[in-house]
């Protein structure tokens, strides 16, 4: 049988040996693939790290929503929303990520308050119109007689 030279220690070993008998280094025909697992892990770890590092985007600014609230129902709440929305990006690009997140939460809160109070006002308005029409109907009825 043929002999090969160990890459690690230079000893003459059998070409069928999986590891060098004198130093234990794996030979070229080694069937144990210790590197394959390592490369798989090395492939997965940067992917996961990249996934967590990727969202380097500013938090939600609520700018569009707060403008809609300003136009459609409640100016004061919408203005507070717009002011905070404009702080989100300016703080973010100034490096104040925590401040940007706070402004985002604040903008979202006021936008929602504006939205829901707008809904409530619209509901009350419709209710008053309906009641007013109803009262007017009965007023007219009583005047008729
Ligand atoms: Zn060797």
SS3 4: strand
Alpha-carbon distance 99 to 107, whole Å?
A: 12
Ligand 1 midpoint to CA 17 (Å): 11
Q: Which of 111, 60, 112, 114 has the alpha carbon at shortest distance from 87?
A: 60
Number of domains the chain contains: 2
- Reading the block at residue 56, the tokens are 């380097």
In tens, the pLDDT along 100-142 reads 999 999 888 888 888 888 888 888 888 888 888 766 665 655 5
Within this chain, do residues 120 and 69 fall inside the same structural domain, yes or no? Answer: yes
Predicted confidence band at 50 (pLDDT cuts at 50, 70, 90)? very low
Within this chain, do residues 101 and 139 fall inside the same structural domain, yes or no? Answer: yes
Ligand 1 midpoint to CA 2 (Å): 16
Average pLDDT over every residue of 89-93: 92
Within this chain, do residues 133 and 79 fall inside the same structural domain, yes or no? Answer: yes
The DSSP symbol for 19 reads B
Ligand 1 midpoint to CA 19 (Å): 8
Could you identify the residue written with the tokens 């829901």?
A: 116
Ligand 1 midpoint to CA 41 (Å): 28
Within this chain, do residues 36 and 87 fall inside the same structural domain, yes or no? Answer: no
Note whether residue 58 is domain-resident.
no
Backbone phi and psi for residue 25, each to the nearest 5 degrees, phi listed first: -70, 140
Predicted confidence band at 51 (pLDDT cuts at 50, 70, 90)? very low
Residue ranges making up the domain that contains 24: 3-53
Q: Which residues hold their Cβ within 5 A of ligand 1, which is an ion? A: 6, 8-9, 11, 20, 22-23, 25
Predicted confidence band at 87 (pLDDT cuts at 50, 70, 90)? very high
């Amino acid at each position: 049988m043929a002999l090969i030279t160990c890459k690690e220690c230079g000893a003459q070993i059998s070409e069928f040996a999986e590891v060098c008998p004198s130093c234990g280094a794996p030979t070229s025909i080694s069937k144990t693939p210790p590197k394959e697992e390592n490369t798989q892990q090395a492939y997965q770890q940067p992917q996961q790290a990249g996934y967590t590092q990727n969202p380097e985007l500013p938090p939600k600014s609520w700018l569009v929503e707060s403008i809609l609230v300003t136009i459609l129902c409640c100016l004061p709440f919408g203005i507070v929303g717009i002011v905070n929305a404009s702080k989100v990006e300016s703080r973010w690009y100034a490096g104040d990520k925590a401040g940007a997140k706070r402004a985002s939460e604040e903008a979202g809160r006021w936008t929602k308050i504006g939205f829901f109070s707008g809904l409530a006002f619209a509901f009350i308005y419709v209710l008053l119109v309906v009641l007013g029409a109803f009262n007017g109907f009965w007023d007219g009825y009583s005047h008729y007689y």
